[in-house]
Amino acid sequence: MNELHSEPYAELHCWLSGQHPGLRTFKILQHKLALLAVDHPEQRAMCRLLNGIVNSYVEEFDEAPLPTATADRAYQRLLRSLAEIDCAAEPARQLGNLNRLAGLVLSQ
């Protein structure tokens, strides 16, 4: 197995931690996830899953008011999720991460 450290997600986490929790940040994150998937093809599944989660959130609030409390909760959930990704983990743990993320809804 090609071992990849959590560095790409740590970089995303670092970037995200310095951003405002508004929709623009989430839209930029989608672009960053697309680039990450290209640069690290072995991480495509995780990137696509995260992108889908972020996309659902963006679509829900695009053109609609985004309550501050909802934005803050979504932002914190996403930060926690990025911090928990370990690309160097054994396959069973990585699958567990994918399954956990599959249940993540940012707007709750």
What is the per-residue pLDDT across 6-60, written as a single tens digit (0 to 9) for each? 588 889 999 999 999 999 999 999 999 999 999 999 889 999 999 999 999 999 9
Please check whether residue 108 lies inside any domain of the structure.
no
Number of independent structural domains in the chain: 1
Look at 1 and 31; give whichever has higher pLDDT.
Answer: 31
pLDDT of residue 86: 86
Please check whether residue 1 lies inside any domain of the structure.
no
Domain span at residue 38 reads: 8-103
Please check whether residue 2 lies inside any domain of the structure.
no
Cα separations in angstroms, 58 against 1, 2, 23, 62, 79: 34, 33, 6, 6, 16
Q: What is the pTM of this model?
A: 0.87
